[in-house]
Structure 1
Amino acid sequence: MDYDCHCHLSAREFEQDLEDVIQRSREAGVKTSITVTEEAGEFSRVLQLQERFPDLVSPCFGVHLLQTSGGLERRSAMPQDLDAARSRFYVHRNRLVAVGEIGLDFTPWCALTQRDRDNQVFVKQLDIAKELDLPVNIHSRSAAGVTIETMKEHGISRALLHNFAGKLRVGLEGVKAGFFFSFPPAVCRNQQRQKLIKLLPLEHICLETDSPSLGLQRHERSAVRNEDIALSCRYMSEVKGVSPQKVQVITAQNAYRIFSKAPKT
């Protein structure tokens, strides 16, 4: 499948069986994994992964709007979280392929966050991406319209909106702006996404796993977590009425257009 455009290989869930996960990923045809981070505590781990698997792991740095601070409970990201990590984006700029995972989330369960503060952390990272000439890897749950408008206002030209679930009208605005959209295997069980995927141009679609989450089974975080990207490819093929080979080729081309610093497969 060439590119997995959004995955979390530096997540703690992979500490015990990472070698197996990497092997299964390769067997599934993934040649480049765009590996996002959510907290500064992951930055060193994702760089270590790149050192171990330089042909596969393409690292991103990002401060997500929700933070765990080493515990189980999540809290809203603070500007201080980004300020403390900001210099590391610049120190490691030559190793990064994108800034992410960053973005906005307006779902009710995310009510503990403060929208003004979330937007501040988001915009600061958009500015970092522009300064470093890097694309952004975006979370936009229930906030697609605001997220896209914010990126346009701040002059972002290369963006991937992962697990996109916005309205078609909003998605087409993103297409006009030159943005791309990726979909994990979980879309195979979501009929509401079918129309969206059908009508978004294939030339603006990429594949992702979002592993260890968003597999075919609901709430799946099983030991088999990173080889199911082929499900996304086959589903795109069925919905679009084209061959899986065409989906594979075009989505890989799209991925390289966004993540131009990643190894070309």
Structure 2
Amino acid sequence: MVRGFIDCHCHLSANEFTQDIDDVLLRAKKAGVNALVAVTEGASEFEKVIQLSKTYPGFVFPCFGIHPLQGSGQDLHSVKLQIGLDFTPWFAKTTQELDEQTKVFIKQLEISKELDLPVNVHSRSAAKVTIATMKELGIRQALLHNFAGKPSVAMEGVRAGFCFSFPPAVSKNEQRAKLIRQIPVEHICLETDSPALGMDKHVRNEPGNIKICCDYIAKVKGLSSDVVMEVTTQNALRLFSKLKT
């Protein structure tokens, strides 16, 4: 049995971790985390994540991309992985804004194909478009993090071979439980999305809270936490093959 967790989506370069990142990562190791996929929201974070990966080799793995709400105009030539679409009405208010997000999304998908790398995708109020776009471009290796789309849309992703991950906060959301019940455990990964989306929105979330996700998914699916830990870790290793190195 594989022992230990993989946090497939966390923001270690966030300002909330600036003062005590070493302590945060030590607590994560003590909690059984074997690897963390550190995502970025913009090019300004790339160097910070690279330095973390050098300080913690084999534990922190960079995941470069530009968040849809960070806008266009950023240099995409060094982006390796991407973060997706956000069509939430109060963010994307015009057709032009939606089109611009989609262009940046497609550009990053094309880069991922060129580099033969998986994608780590943010999708909010845009699940159907996100999955359809990835399928059109022939994306095979993808994680849809904190997915909140309809179960029918999720199953389109499952049929395309995509994986889905859920942070601790979903344990308070019955609608998300219905979604988790339908997605096969072979298509589920674990994430914290820290420092956000913990159990209490007023308290900083950390990678060390990953077991909350595992235990909740186990409860919803009627499985043991050990089985969920093992299967989700294998899923993550299959999806992010560079973690094996």
**Structure 1 runs not aligned, ≥5 long:** 68-76, 90-97
Instruction: Give the 4+ runs in structure 1 shifted more than 2 A.
Output: 219-222
Match of 2:119 in 1: 136
Shift of residue 46 of structure 1? 0.5
Distance, in Å, in 1 between the alignment partners of 2:100 and 2:165 is 26
Q: Using the aligned pairs only, state the percent identity.
A: 56
Q: Which amino acid aligns with 2:86?
A: D
Corresponding pairs, count: 240
**Correspondence for 2:81:** 99
Aligned to 2:131: 148
Q: Distance in 2 between matches of 1:168 and 1:191?
A: 13
State the distance in 2 between where 1:11 and 1:49 align. 12
What's the CA shift for 1:10? 1.2
Kindly report which structure 2 residues correspond to 1:107-256, keeping only aligned pairs within 5 A, or say none. 107-112=88-93, 114-217=97-200, 219-222=201-204, 225-256=206-237
Normalised by the size of structure 2, how large is the TM-score?
A: 0.94
The answer for the alignment partner of 2:13 in structure 1 is 10
Distance 1:194 1:168 in 2: 10
Contact map agreement 1:213 1:220 (CA 8 A) in 2: no
> How far 1:187 sits from its partner (Å)?
0.7
Q: Do the aligned partners of 2:194 and 2:207 also contact (CA within 8 Å) in 1?
A: yes
Q: Give, in whole Å, the separation in 1 of the partners of 2:99 and 2:173.
A: 31
- The Cα RMSD (Å) is 1.3
CA contact (8 A) 1:138 1:159 kept: yes
SS in structure 2 of the partner of residue 66 of structure 1: helix
Give the Cα separation in 1 of the matches to 2:45 and 2:93. 23
Matched residues in 2 for 1:109 and 1:227: separation? Answer: 32
| TM-score relative to the length of structure 1 | 0.88
Task: Give the Cα–Cα distance (whole angstroms) in 1 for the partners of residues 202 and 163 of structure 2.
Answer: 25
Gaps of 5+ in 2: none
* Counterpart amino acid of residue 9 in structure 1: L
- Distance apart, 1:227 and its partner CA: 1.3
Q: What is aligned with 1:58? A: 61
Q: Residue 241 of structure 2 aligns with which residue?
A: 260
The answer to whether the 8 A contact 1:103-1:139 is kept is: yes
**Does the aligned pair in 1 maintain the 2:142–2:239 contact within 8 Å?**
yes
Question: Match for 2:31 among 23, 28, 38?
Answer: 28
Q: Note if contact 1:144-1:166 (Cα within 8 Å) is conserved in structure 2.
A: yes
